Amino acid sequence: MRKINRAVKIRIYPNKEQITQIEKTIGCSRFLYNRMLADKIRHYQEEKKMLKNTPAGYKKEYPWLKEVDSLALANVQLNLEGAFRKFFREPGVGFPHYKSKKHSRKSYTTNMVNGNICLQDRFLKLPKMQPVKIKLHRMIPEGWKLKSVTVSREPSGKYFASLLFDCENQTAEKRQAEKFLGMDFAMHGMCVFSTGERAGYPMFYRNAEKKLAREQRKLSRCEKGSRNYQKQKKKVALYHEKIKNQRKDFQHKLSHSLAEDYDAVCVEDLNLKGIAGGLHFGKGIQDNGYGQFLSMLGYKLEERGKYLIKVDRYFASSKICSVCGHKKKELALSERIYLCECGNRMDRDVNAAVNILKEGKRIYKKCA
C-alpha cells in the first residue's frame, strides 16, 4: 500500500521564553530568504548564472543565525529553490518576491531528524526549546510517522503547529456510482443542488460587516504603534478569525454530509478569480469560499472511493432548458427565473444544477 501525507493542525501555548525563540526563528527565516533571494538576483545580473547559495554560508557573517533551528533555515533554501522552479515552469505565477515583515505569513518549518521532535500527551518537543504545551483535539493513529512541523502565528496572536505525518493510504477503492448530485455555484447561499435545495450558507462576513467596520474605524483613530492600537488591531484580527472559523466549520459539515450521501457530485469547473475580478463580485465570492469548499468535498469523496465530476466551464448550463433541451441565445444575469417555450418555469440556478447533473452523468458513462 502506497504512503501518503496527512496533516493535523493543533493549538500550542508557548510561554514567554518559547515565544521569543519562535519569533526569533520566524524572523531569521524571513531575513535569510530575502538575503538569499537578493544575492541570487545580484549574481545573475553580474554573471548570468544562478548562484547556488546555502544557509551555512551566511552564519559567519551573521552569527545570530546559529541561535535558531538549522533545519528551519535549510527549509528556507528549499522553499526559495521551489519558488524559482515554479517560476521557470509556470511564468504566470510570477518571479519570487521578498517576504514582508508586516504582511507575509508568520511561520517556519522544521523536520524530524534523530528524534529532535517529540509528540507527547500534552506537550510538543521542538528543537532549541523546552516542550511546548499543546491542545491535542484528536488521537494520532498508530503507525503514523511524524515528518515535519510548521509553527505559525495568526494575526490574532494565537500560535499553531501543523504536524505532517507519513501514513498508509486508507482511501477506499473506486466503486460504481449510483447516486448522483448536480451542484451549481450561487452568489447567495454558496451553491444550489439539482434536488432544488440550497446550501443555506449564512454569509458570515456579510452579517458581521457592520460590526467589523465599526472596529476598523476605531483602529484608524488609534495612534500607530501605541498600546491601544495593538489592542484594537488584535480585536479586529479576532473578528476576522471568527468569520474564517465559522466558514470552515460550515463547509466541513456540508462537504462531509454530501460525501456520505452521494456516490458522485457533479460541479462546474469555474474560474472563480475571473468572476470575482471581471464581474466585481469579489467580496461575495470570498465570503462564500466556494473554491475551498470544492477542495474539501474533493478529498472527502476520494477517501470514500467516490467521484467529484467537473463539467467544462464553457458548458451552457444556465441557458439550456433542463426539460426539453432548448438553448437560449441570450440570458441576462438579472433573469433569476428560467422560462422556456415548453412551459418549464423554474429557478435559474436549479435549472443549471440539473443540467450539470445530466452532463456529469454523461461524462461518467463516457469515462467508465
**How high is the mean pLDDT of the chain?**
90
Whether the pLDDT of residue 169 is over 80: the answer is: no
Whether the pLDDT of residue 192 is over 70: the answer is: yes
pLDDT tens per residue across span 92-130: 888 999 999 888 889 999 999 988 999 888 999 999 999
Rounded Cα distance, 60 and 80, in Å:
21
Whether the pLDDT of residue 321 is over 80: the answer is: yes
Which cell is 72 given? Answer: 528551519
Per-residue model confidence (pLDDT) at position 281: 63
Which cell is 132 given? Answer: 511546548
Active site residues: 184, 268, 349
pLDDT, greater one: 279 or 255: 255
Per-residue model confidence (pLDDT) at position 340: 87
Judged by DSSP in three states, 173 sits in: coil
Report whether 320 contacts 326 (CB < 8 A). yes
The stretch 158-187 carries a mean pLDDT of 88
DSSP codes of every residue in 70-114: HHHHHHHHHHHHHHHHHHHH-GGG----PPPTTTS-EEEEEE--T
Q: How far is CA 187 from CA 249, 275, 349, in A?
A: 19, 11, 10
How many CA atoms, within 13 angstroms, populate the side-chain half-sphere of residue 190?
23
Rounded Cα distance, 104 and 161, in Å:
17
What is the band of 279 on the pLDDT scale with cuts at 50, 70, 90? Answer: low
Rounded Cα distance, 331 and 340, in Å:
12
Strand partners, 186: 190
Q: Parallel, antiparallel, or unpaired for β 180-186 and 264-268?
A: parallel
- Specify the range with the lowest mean pLDDT, choosing from 6-10, 274-278, 288-292, 300-304: 274-278
**Which of the residue ranges 8-22, 111-125, 339-353 has the most confident prediction, judged by mean pLDDT?**
8-22
Per-residue model confidence (pLDDT) at position 2: 66
Rounded Cα distance, 161 and 134, in Å:
9
Report whether 167 contacts 143 (CB < 8 A). yes
Strand partners, 6: 165
Rounded Cα distance, 87 and 81, in Å:
10
Domain assignments of the chain as residue spans, ordered by start = 3-168, 180-367
pLDDT tens per residue across span 32-68: 999 999 999 999 898 888 889 999 999 999 999 999 9
Q: Is 266 left (phi over 0), alpha (psi -120 to 50) or beta?
A: beta
DSSP codes of every residue in 39-62: HHHHHHHHHSS-----GGGGTTT-
Per-residue model confidence (pLDDT) at position 237: 94
The stretch 319-336 carries a mean pLDDT of 85
